[in-house]
Amino acid sequence: MPEQQSTPIETREVRIGRILSELHDRCARGEPIDHDQIAAKHPDIAGELKHHFATLGNLHWQDQTIEGLVRQGLLAPSADSEYRAELGPYRIIEYLGRGGMGIVLKAYEPALRRFVALKLLRPEMTEDAVALARFQREAQAAAGLHHPNILTIHAVGQHNGVHFISMEHIDGPTLADMIREQGPLPADAIRKLTEQILCGLAAAHEAGLIHRDIKPANLLLDKPAGNHDEGGGMLKIADFGLARVLSSQTKLTLPEQSFGTPQYMSPEQARGDEDIDHRTDLYSAGVVLYEMLTGRVPFRSETPTAVIHQILSNDPPEPTLQGKTCDPALASIAMRLLAKRREDRFTTAAEVLAALRSGRRVASYERSRRRRRFAGRAVLLIAAITGIVWLFSGLGSASAPITAAKGIDNLVVVQRGTSSQWQPLYRFNEPNHVKSAVAVELGATGKTLVVAAPEIPPEAHKTILAFDDDGKEIWDMDLSSDLNWPDCDLSRGWRCDGLMAADLDGLPGDEVIAIASDIGEYPSRFSIIDPVARTIRATLWHQGDPHWSDDNVHKTIWLERDFFGPGHHAIVAKGVNNKLDGFYEPRETDPPPLTKWDIVPDMMIIDPRKMLEEGEGIGPPFSPRVPFKPSRAIHAYAFLDLSTTDDNTFVNDADDVRRTLAAPRLDDVGCINQLARSSEKVTDGTGPWFILDLKHSDKQWGAFVTVDRDLQIVRIHKMPHDPAPKPDSFWREKWKVLVSEDHVVSPTP
């Protein structure tokens, strides 16, 4: 039908409305439409028309029946009468539904003999270069996710100009269907379903993908009919990573349902913030949990604008007020997830999982802060008087910020404010012993927490635990490792031997350095932990035992502040290495042994910033049988090799393949008895210097050796009571430097 010409008395708005109405009718009849041609015929209103074309296309996408898609040329007629149409290698069976990205069809892929869900990208989105590029990038990234609780993406491609995603097909209902049929769900079913949502989110977030549109309609239930109320079967998250595809320009031309449902948006999404992170998915998961508990979303209204206003301004109604059967622990998790500030939510999906599995109620930081603010206003005068009393009498120190922490027997004790008194913060069950504890500043938040390492973890996964300033446990972390280390059996578990805290990356707040080792074998690790994200950011693996001591007089591992420059600290450590003698059953690819003894004392200087850059590495010996690259973070590494002296009590057998039973004791191999920083002022660039007490304990002879920042010997002092002191050349020969100034040195054994 030819377009009508405008009359002189038509207003601009009437013309636009009339043209769009005509296009609406043409779309309904399946007529092809050339948008550019129409805009060219109406140059004075072309901009407004183009603004509405995509919306009109969304309303009709011309004809959404399979036959209509064939008429439009998006699908081809099927040569097989068993199927209704085809697209490349896919045979179309039926229409399943539509979403913001396009429509979804059920199809069969003969080559792989499987049914798939085929999502076709909306035609107008292919005209948006930003949206199309983002679609391809996000879809391909999501295709790399392989997890039982994430819908598998088989392929991302295009055929004859039609862009599509081929996905795993699920016959079951969506969680939205389940809630619509049943209303509030039983607590056990909610726990099972929520756990699966969180497991899927944890895997995706770890891979760097954010969903941005978590809602019941995107949660598919792959389980038999009639099993809905038990929460059995498998839940799968659909459309992972694809909610980000729509560009800002495209969003403006599409109705709201195409770029996210307002009821499930986080406050930062509702505001249009640019820096959206994984915590937006945790908020949306909280809305889904709330809806499973109550049968309704926390915020709803007649218009999207009103919903967004509620999300930004109102508190969600308490779920337990919606029904007497609402589980209080689950309700507390939902309310914590629905915090308006993302800092007040859980930090990670794994943290939510831990709270869910504990079965305990969790506190709401948001509500606690509001209560504190209200109480502060109500008692302002009393607080001022209390402050004066504290100033003159020292009262009120229990609420002052924590400035230091340590372990005494089974207690974690702390100092608060300016007080030098140690106060108990947390008590472990007898007969446990606190190996180490440290106070950690959390930067801009102004908060402090205490991280502690019990000698016997209270549970297998709790190698270290973190407490708030009231002694409440807020998180724990597992530092154990099940890596297949050569020549050892990791069967007795891991423990954390020592903790330190400092700003290592130059950003506000401290990082935690944890030194952990296998209880019965040689592997150990220096790990840098982000106490806010509660993740391990970097690890330097060590094939030996760092000798941790909290003794302030004779520390064995410490932070050498400003070693590499202002604010750029170093870790100085001493201990023993177990593998410089090679392996029980050497391979051709293994490096040659550097000593004949299986235990030698060592010293190292580590650069934490390089640890953060590389993520994971290993110290010497550098063997391909251990799955780590040599660490660039080791600034210097040296060991004491007394295995070639006349006082040997231990030798390898003739072929150096397997050790004899006459393994040396630590007294036989010698030791770095003490390690301390020299007080000398060094101006030639080789400082700071360190003083080592090198000793053969069993023979009672040794020397005091001073080394520079690269662990090269500067001077040697004889022990005053040594009846037959060794010459300086002896110690220079036996002190073997493996790494110096980041460069690997290869001393001969």
User: According to the model, what pLDDT value does residue 273 have?
Assistant: 83
Q: Which residue has the higher pLDDT, 747 or 508?
A: 508
Question: Tokens standing for 522?
Answer: 């040689």
DSSP string of 551-591? -SSS-SEEEEEEEEETTEEEEEEEEEES-TT--SS--TTSP
**Residue whose token pair is 């003739």:** 654
As beta bridge partners, residue 92 has: 85, 107
Q: How far is CA 306 from CA 191, 276, 313, 360, in A?
A: 31, 22, 10, 34
Calpha distance 279→425 (Å, rounded):
31
CA distance 692 to 715: 11
pLDDT in tens, 371-425: 545 444 544 544 454 444 444 444 344 568 899 999 998 999 999 988 889 999 9
Whether the per-residue pLDDT at 253 is higher than 50: the answer is no
- Where are the alpha helices (H) located in 359-483, listed in sequence order? 365-378, 380-393
Q: Which letter does DSSP use for residue 305 in this model?
A: H
DSSP state of 404: E
Out of 213, 469, 497, 510, pick the active-site residue: 213
CA distance to 117, 163, 512, per residue, from 112 (Å) = 14, 20, 50
The chain-wide mean pLDDT, for the chain, equals 80
Work out the pLDDT band at 440, boundaries 50, 70, 90: very high
Model pLDDT, residue 627: 83
Residue 681 has pLDDT above 60, yes or no: yes
pLDDT given at position 18? 72
Q: For 395, which DSSP code?
A: T
pLDDT digits (tens, 9 = 90+) for 592-609: 888 888 889 999 999 999
Cβ proximity of 253 and 55 under 8 Å: yes
Q: Average of pLDDT values for 560-571?
A: 93
Q: Is the dihedral angle over the CA atoms 297, 298, 302, 303 positive or is it negative?
A: negative
* Residue ranges of domains in the chain: 12-60, 66-168, 175-369, 552-744
* Eight-class DSSP state of 739: E
Average of pLDDT values for 285-314? 89
Taking the CB of residue 617, how many other CB atoms lie within 10 A of it? Answer: 20
Beta strand 473-477 with 535-546: parallel, antiparallel or unpaired?
Answer: unpaired
pLDDT value at position 591?
81
| 467 or 142, which is more confident | 467
More confident residue, 180 or 377: 180
3-state secondary structure of 250: helix
pLDDT band at 698 (very low <50, low <70, confident <90, very high): low
| Percent of the chain predicted with pLDDT > 70 | 76
Q: Which residues contact 139 (CB under 8 A, 6 or more apart)?
A: 153, 156, 165, 241, 242, 245
Give alpha helix (H) positions in 61-119: 66-71
Query: What does the pLDDT average to over 493-507?
Result: 90
Among 126, 292, 279, residue whose Cα is nearest residue 202: 279
Residue 81 pLDDT exceeds 80 = yes
Question: Count of alpha carbons within 13 Å of 490, Cβ hemisphere only?
Answer: 15
User: Do 548 and 516 touch, CB atoms closer than 8 A?
Assistant: no
pLDDT tens for 127-139 read 666 667 767 776 7
- CATH entry 1.10.510.10 includes domain 175-369: yes
* Nearest alpha-carbon partner for 230 in 183, 283, 185, 171: 185
Which of 338-342, 568-572, 596-600, 648-652 has the lowest average pLDDT? Answer: 648-652
Among 40-54, 386-400, 675-689, the minimum mean pLDDT is found in: 386-400
CA–CA dist 174, 190 (Å, integer): 14
pLDDT of residue 207: 86
Please, which pLDDT band fits residue 4 given cuts at 50, 70 and 90? very low
pLDDT band per the 50, 70, 90 thresholds, residue 258:
very low
Residue from 503, 431, 421, 434 nearest 462 by CA: 434
DSSP state of 122: P
In tens, the pLDDT along 630-644 reads 999 999 999 998 886
Handedness of CA 410, 414, 420, 422 (dihedral sign): negative
Q: Are 48 and 55 in contact (CB under 8 A)?
A: no
pLDDT of residue 250: 39
> Which pLDDT belongs to residue 36?
75
β-pairing verdict for 535-546 and 616-618:
parallel
CB atoms within 10 A of CB 566: 8
CA 28 to centroid of chain Cα atoms: 49
Which CATH entry fits the domain spanning 66-168: 3.40.50.300, 3.30.200.20, 3.40.50.2300, 3.40.50.1100? 3.30.200.20
- Report the distance separating Cα 294 and Cα 292, nearest Å: 6
Mean pLDDT of 267-293: 92
Q: How many whole angstroms separate alpha carbon 527 and alpha carbon 513? A: 6
Least confident of 458-472, 580-594, 611-625: 580-594
Distances in Å between the Cα of 393 and the Cα atoms of 107, 383, 422, 442 are: 79, 15, 17, 29
Q: In 3D, which of 579, 587, 633 has the Cα closest to residue 606?
A: 633
Question: Which amino acid, one-letter code, is at 290?
Answer: Y
Mode of pairing for the β-strands spanning 234-237 and 402-408? unpaired
Output the CA torsion sign for 108, 112, 113, 117: negative
Chain position carrying tokens 């040594």 = 722
Contact 630, 618 (CB under 8 A): yes
In this predicted structure, what is the pLDDT of residue 662?
45
The answer to whether the CB of 434 falls within 8 A of the CB of 410 is yes
Distance, in Å, from the CA atom of 627 to the CA atom of 616, rounded to the nearest integer, reads 10
pLDDT at residue 102, as a whole number: 74
pLDDT at 65: 81
Q: Which residue has the tokens 């506000």?
A: 508
Beta-carbon contacts of 579 under 8 Å, excluding residues fewer than 6 positions away, are 486, 487, 522, 543, 544, 598, 621, 623
Reported as a pLDDT band with limits 50, 70 and 90, residue 671 is confident
For residue 661, pLDDT over 50 is answered with no
Whole-angstrom Cα distance, residue 133 to residue 615?
30
Which pLDDT tens digit goes with each residue over 331-364? Answer: 999 999 999 998 899 999 999 999 999 888 887 7
Sign of the Cα pseudo-torsion (97, 103, 109, 114, in order): negative
Rounded to whole angstroms, the Cα distance separating 256 from 269 reads: 13
Percentage, residues of the chain above pLDDT 90: 39
Is 63 a residue of the active site?
no
Q: CB 12: neighbour CB atoms within 10 A?
A: 11
Phi, psi of 660 (to 5 degrees): -80, 175
Q: What is the model's pLDDT at position 272? A: 82
pLDDT for residue 551: 62
pLDDT at 209: 87
Of 188-202, 409-423, 731-745, the least confident: 731-745
Question: Distance (Å, rounded) from C-alpha 164 to C-alpha 158?
Answer: 6
State the pLDDT at residue 178: 93
> Dihedral, CA atoms, 518, 523, 528, 532, nearest 10 degrees?
-30
